[in-house]
Structure 1
Amino acid sequence: MATRALLTDEELSPEAQAVFDDIRATRGSDFVNNFWRALAHDPALLRATWERLKVVMGPGALDPLVKEMVYLAVSVANACEYCTHSHTAAARAKGMDDAMHGELLAVIGMASQTNALANALQVPVDEAFRA
């Protein structure tokens, strides 16, 4: 259960409505997901989060699918159910197939295991790896 009500379009402040309008225009869809509806209680936070997300997930050196898969990996590692579902759907929309998803999950699992082992053993970083 959400800790704040998910605002409907009719409940939005003018500031939040402007952000929703931009979300719809940018994504080319009428759908505004629950994450944005929860943030809409704080229009300044809503706008700041949306503006930063557009920059980070927008065109850049990384392929859009790679960005979604990295976002998915971090969401899994942080145990964010909402983001795991949202970014799995986004990655699938950008071309992630079942084989890619399975391999990504294997990498996430392996990294989680080796991270835990390295932390538990307090393995010092090799000088060759230091930038």
Structure 2
Amino acid sequence: MSLVPVLDDDEMKPEARAVINEIRDVRQTDFVNNFWRVLANDPAALKRTWGSLREVMGPGTLDPLTKELIYIAVSIANGCEYCIRSHTAAARARGMSEAQMMELQSVVAMASETNRLAIGLQVPVDDVFKGLPPAPASSGD
């Protein structure tokens, strides 16, 4: 259960309703999901978040499907069921296949495993990965 109400349109302040209507217009749908309806409890947060999401997920150098795949991967890492499900639906709408979904899951799982190993073992970062010149070879001392 949400910590604050999932608002119907008629329960929203006018500022929130204006953002919700913009979401409908941009997405060309009458459906507005619960994420936005919960954020509508704070019209300023709703407007700010919607504006940022439109900018980040809008046209850029990454294609829309790649952006959704990244969003899913981060949502998996953060354990956000809502975002995993909503962005999986968006990725499927943008053409993600089941094979791509399974490969994405494998990459996320492998990255999680190797991240934990590197963190746990405190592996020092190679200079080349830091953009530094390689350390001089040992003279055998």
Same fold (TM > 0.5): yes
Name the structure 2 match of 1:120. 120
The Cα shift of 1:127 comes to: 0.6
Which segments of structure 1 move beyond 3 Å, counting only runs of 4 or more? none
Q: Which residue is 2:130 aligned to?
A: 130
Q: In the alignment, residue 52 of structure 1 is paired with which amino acid?
A: S
1:73-129 deviation digits (Å, cap 9, x = unpaired): 000000001000001000000010100000000000000000000000000111111
Identity score, percent: 60
Following superposition, the deviation at residue 45 of structure 1 comes to 0.3
Task: Name the CA distance, whole Å, in 1 between partners of 2:65 and 2:90.
Answer: 8
CA distance in 1, matches of 2:108, 2:37: 29
Q: CA RMSD for the aligned pairs?
A: 0.5
Determine the C-alpha separation between the residues in 2 that align with 1:63 and 1:130. 28
Task: Say which one has the larger Rg.
Answer: 2
- Kindly state the Cα deviation for residue 68 of structure 1 after the two structures are TM-superposed: 0.2
Indicate whether 1:50 and 2:50 are aligned. yes
**Are 2:96 and 1:93 aligned?**
no
The residue aligned with 1:36 is 36
Unmatched runs of 5 consecutive residues or more in structure 1: none
Unaligned ranges ≥5, structure 2:
132-141
Partner of 2:138: none
Number of residues of Structure 1 aligned to a counterpart in Structure 2: 131
How much has 1:37 moved relative to structure 2? 0.4
State TM-score, norm by structure 2.
0.92
